[in-house]
Structures are given as structure tokens and as C-alpha cells.
Amino acid sequence: MKLPDTARWALTHGLIRLVLRRETRKGNLNSRFLTDREVQLNPYPHYETLRDDRPFAPGLAGKVTVHHAVGTEVLRAEGFGTASFGGAPRPIRRVLAAAASGRARSVIEPPSMLAVDPPDHSRYRKLVTRAFTAKAVKALRERTEEVAAELLDGIDGSREPVDLVSGYAAQLPVIVICEILGAPTSMREQFLTWGDAAATSLDPGMSRQRFLQAQQGIDALLDWMRGHFDALRRNPGNDILSELVTTADTDGQRLTETELLATALLVLAAGFETTVNLIGNGIALLQEHPEQRALLAEQPALWPNAVDEMLRFDSPVQRTARRALHDTEISGVPVRREELVIILLGAANRDPKVFDDPNRFDVTRRGAGKHLAFSSGIHYCLGAALAKMEGEVALRALYQRFPDLTLVGEPHRRPTSNLRGFDRMTATLTPTSRESGVSRGRPGGRSGPGWPSAARS
Ligand code: HEM
């Protein structure tokens, strides 16, 4: 069954949009998270209004939790599955699933790994896990340091203030994920444009215009991917996408073309649409907390912990959802089959039962890594180790190279509410080390001819 995009929008976002508008007018806080720009800019005080002894607060379409323990329990429980198609009720999901069958048109709809339960989930995930293990990521660190150094070389901070998002924070993750997957880095600006449009589709209740724009972005990425797959079939390389198209066969169960496209699309888009926010949020936090920045300059060994603290304190993904597969119970509260549970990851990461003085940003915090920024359970972020390594390398190299970096004016938040980050961040850099003739702190200290040029390709 083919459903026009406008009908898909009406069934997924349009209906929710009507409810959200009505509830926002009534002052419902849960709908304000999604509709009120002021709340989106700083959701944390609002999360606190939901925090009491009850495991769940009532939400618009189900239950909502701000508690770390409750969120973890739901995310790890076998009795819960993914909440695909924007959490729509079952009859609508059936129509949408029939319409989506044979097509991969969203990262949050089947057959995207994010939107399916086992056994399909295990089948898809198994195909790409190898590229993202701790060992694989360790091997990528040096190359990531080279990419960071090369990007920094390209920034002339001596004259005008520069935009650190478009010039740096967005570039590093897209180059790295392209290299991992074997996608051309020369396409990265195009990927970023398509991906930015697609990122909005993670917010329920978006306008018809934004939905259609998001769809255009995803369709363009898919078209490119189809062509690229054809080329790889004819002439496979030594990369993950080549491996996907030539040996996409786990335990004898070959993936369909749609499953292949959905898997590749998700890994590519997740690879660059999220880490940019970690890097941007980190820069903003260090600007607001100069004493923490000074600590990192004195004790660079604190960087890995600092990145966990950034992920905890201002999480790039603010929420996720699950649907009960059968009647069950969480923290003593009955949850009915089909009921939706929203886990506010950003709020769970400020749970005082887990984090002392949770509203304090502290790069030396013990147990900072207990955050749920990468979720938990079987959908735990596939790219978590990669994202942490990229965040650490990118931020460390940036401050080493430009120790006087100062943001000019307020950085600008992205218009998305689930993906939380900045889309513009102007800074003066004052490259003091260049003037003093001292090595510019390039990680690994390499330079000169033969320097890999992927960052400029
Ligand atoms: C700071 C950066 C990142 C954050 C905060 C983040 C966050 C998340 C979260 C919260 C989930 C789980 C959603 C849920 O439980 O419903 C997830 C899943 C996923 N992430 Fe990430 N992510 C980041 C970077 C990356 C990178 C670099 C990749 C590249 C491979 C990636 C690939 C994925 C994939 C493929 C999934 C789906 C896993 C599954 O369903 O089994 N992520 N991510």
C-alpha cells in the first residue's frame, strides 16, 4: 500500500500536533516540552516539576519518567518494545506499517534498527557491531586526532570570529563516520544538509512543511545510498558498506534491500547528527564554567570524565520511548499492554538519587559515566564508544590549539527538541601559540607533507 506523504504526516505528526496544541493551551507541561521554545531552550527546571516520589508522571499519550532507576528498568525490561511511528495507537501503526513495508523512509520507523524488536533487531545490529567495538574505536583514535588537527589547521581565527559548529563540531563526526563506512568525505556538506532536515523527524508533532522537508532529506540520502550500493556491488572496497552489500547475511538470513538501506542510513545519520551536539554542548559548558576549563588545562587526564559529565549534564538526546508488549509492572506500578512510557533521559541524568548535587557541572565528578545519555538495554547506542572518543579528541584538540577561545554572544540552539545542541556558535580564537612559534599542540605532533587530506577532500 502506498500512502501519500501528507497522509503519513497526518497520521504520525498531524494528529499529535492537534493534541499538543490543545494541551499546551491548557498549560499541560508535557506538551510544552514539545511546543514551547522557552521550555526547549532550558528544559531542566521543568523536568524538576515532574520529579516526586511516584515512578511515573502522567503524560499526554502514556506515562513519563524522570527517574534514573525507573528509566533503566523500562529500557532493560523484556516486556517492552520500541515505540515506532511516533508512538501512534495500534490501528494507525498497522496502516503506517503496511504503507512503510518495502521502504526505508525514516530512522525511527521499521526496518530501522532503532524501531524494531528482536529477532529483527539482533539481525540488523549484528551486521554493524564489529565496526564500533571498543577495540575498533581505539584503532580510530589516531586518525580522528589527525582529522581534528587538519580541521583546526583550516580555521583562520586570527581575523574574524568563526562559527565553531559549521567549521568544526559538525565536520569531525561526519568525516569520521564517512571514513568508517566508506562513504565519500567529499559528500559531507550534502550529507549534513540532508541529515539536518532528517533530524527534525525525531520530534513528535512537527508541521507538515517540516515533515515534508525531512522526508526530502531522507529520500535524497536514500537515493544516494542506492546508487552507492550499486557501485559497491560492482566494485566492492574494504569498508563497512561494501561488506554490508556483499555479505549482508547473518546466520543464513540475508537482509532485504530495504533492511540494508535502513541500517546504512541509520548508522550514517546517527554517526554525524548526534556527536556534533556533544561537542557544541561541551564548548558552551566550558565557556560557562571557566574554572572547569582551567582544571582540564591543568589535568588533561580528566578529559574522558569531562566528556561523560557533558553527556550527563546536557544530554544530546533528551528522551526516548518504549511500549509495553503485555500487561506488566514497573517499580510497583502496573503498566498495561500497549501503554507508552516516555523516558526523559536528560532528566534521569539529573536524578539526585544517582548524582550528588546533580545541577552542578563538575568534570571531576565520580560516577559521571552512570548517565543514560546513550540509553540502556538492547538499543544502547551502537556508537557510544566512538562518540565519546570523538568528543574527547575534538574538544581537547580545540582547547589545546586555541586556549583563548571565547564565545561571542549567545550560541544558537537547534530548533529540535529531542536532539539538543547548537547550530551556530561564534567564537574568537586568538591563536597565541602560532604567534609564539611554539608547536600548536597538534595531537601526535605530526605535520608537513603527506598529511592526510580527507578533511579537505
Ligand atoms: C553523543 C553522541 C550520541 C548520543 C548522545 C547518542 C545517543 C543514542 C541513544 C540515546 C540511543 C538509543 C535510543 C533508544 O534507546 O531508543 C542511540 C542508539 C543508536 N545510536 Fe547513538 N548516540 C550518539 C552517537 C552515535 C554515533 C557516533 C553513532 C554511529 C554509529 C550512533 C549510532 C547509533 C545507532 C545505530 C543506534 C541504534 C542502536 C539500536 O537500536 O540497537 N550513535 N544513540
CA–CA separation, 359 and 362 (whole Å)? 9
DSSP state of 103: -
Count of all residues that appear for the chain in the document: 457
- The answer for residues whose C-beta is within 8 angstroms of residue 231's C-beta and 6 or more apart is none
Query: 82 pairs with which residues across the strands?
Result: 322
CA–CA separation, 351 and 57 (whole Å)? 15
Angle at 240 between CA 238 and CA 244, to 5 degrees: 110
What pLDDT sits at residue 438?
Answer: 35
Asked if 17 and 207 touch (Cβ cutoff 8 Å), the reply is: yes
CB 127 less than 6 A from any atom of ligand 1: no
Domains of the chain, start order = 5-456 (1.10.630.10)
The torsion region of residue 62 among left (phi > 0), alpha (psi -120 to 50) and beta comes to left
CA–CA separation, 377 and 340 (whole Å)? 17
CA–CA separation, 245 and 211 (whole Å)? 29
**Residue burial 239-257, b: 16+ Cβ < 10 Å; e: rest:** bbbbbbbeebeeeeeebee
Q: Calculate how far, in angstroms, residue 267's C-alpha sits from the geometric centre of ligand 1.
A: 8
CB 169 less than 6 A from any atom of ligand 1: no
Q: Calculate how far, in angstroms, residue 45's C-alpha sits from the geometric centre of ligand 1.
A: 26
CA–CA separation, 131 and 378 (whole Å)? 17
What pLDDT sits at residue 452?
Answer: 28
pLDDT by 10s per residue, the chain, length 457: 667 778 777 777 777 777 777 877 777 777 777 778 898 999 999 999 999 999 999 887 789 999 999 999 999 999 999 987 666 667 766 666 666 656 667 788 888 999 999 999 998 999 889 889 999 999 999 999 999 999 999 998 787 899 999 999 999 999 999 999 989 999 999 999 888 877 777 787 778 888 888 888 888 888 999 999 999 889 988 888 888 888 655 555 567 888 889 999 999 999 999 999 999 999 999 999 999 999 999 999 999 999 999 999 999 999 999 999 999 999 999 999 999 999 999 999 999 999 999 999 999 999 999 999 999 999 999 999 999 999 999 999 999 999 999 999 999 999 988 999 999 999 999 754 444 433 333 333 322 222 223 333 3
φ/ψ (deg, to 5) at 81: -125, -175
How many alpha carbons fall within 13 Å on the CB side of residue 322? 29
- The answer for residues whose C-beta is within 8 angstroms of residue 438's C-beta and 6 or more apart is none
Q: Calculate how far, in angstroms, residue 300's C-alpha sits from the geometric centre of ligand 1.
A: 27
Q: Calculate how far, in angstroms, residue 275's C-alpha sits from the geometric centre of ligand 1.
A: 10
Relative to the CA of 113, which ligand 1 atom is closest?
A: 40
CB 371 less than 6 A from any atom of ligand 1: no
Q: What is the DSSP string of 15-70?
A: HHHHHHHHHHHTT-HHHHHHH-HHHHHS-HHHHHHT-SSSS-EE-SSEEEE--HHH
Which of 108, 125, 344, 382 has the most ligand 1 atoms within 8 A of CB, as the residue to mutate? 382
What pLDDT sits at residue 101?
Answer: 58
DSSP state of 356: S
Dihedral angle over CA of 407, 273, 35, 31, nearest 10? -120
Cell triple for 128: 554493524
Q: Calculate how far, in angstroms, residue 211's C-alpha sits from the geometric centre of ligand 1.
A: 22
Contacts 24+ apart (CB under 8 A), 248-253: 248/127, 250/123, 250/126, 250/127, 251/123, 253/123
CB 317 less than 6 A from any atom of ligand 1: yes
A 10 A CB-CB count for 445 gives 9
What pLDDT sits at residue 432?
Answer: 46
Relative to the CA of 317, which ligand 1 atom is closest?
A: 5
Q: Calculate how far, in angstroms, residue 128's C-alpha sits from the geometric centre of ligand 1.
A: 13
CB 275 less than 6 A from any atom of ligand 1: yes
| N-terminal to C-terminal alpha carbon distance within the chain | 42
- Residue whose grid cell is 574505536: 137
Relative to the CA of 375, which ligand 1 atom is closest?
A: 10
Asked if 328 and 81 touch (Cβ cutoff 8 Å), the reply is: no
Which of 386, 300, 306, 372 shows the shortest CA–CA distance to 343?
Answer: 372
Which of 274, 276, 343, 386 has the most ligand 1 atoms within 8 A of CB, as the residue to mutate? 274
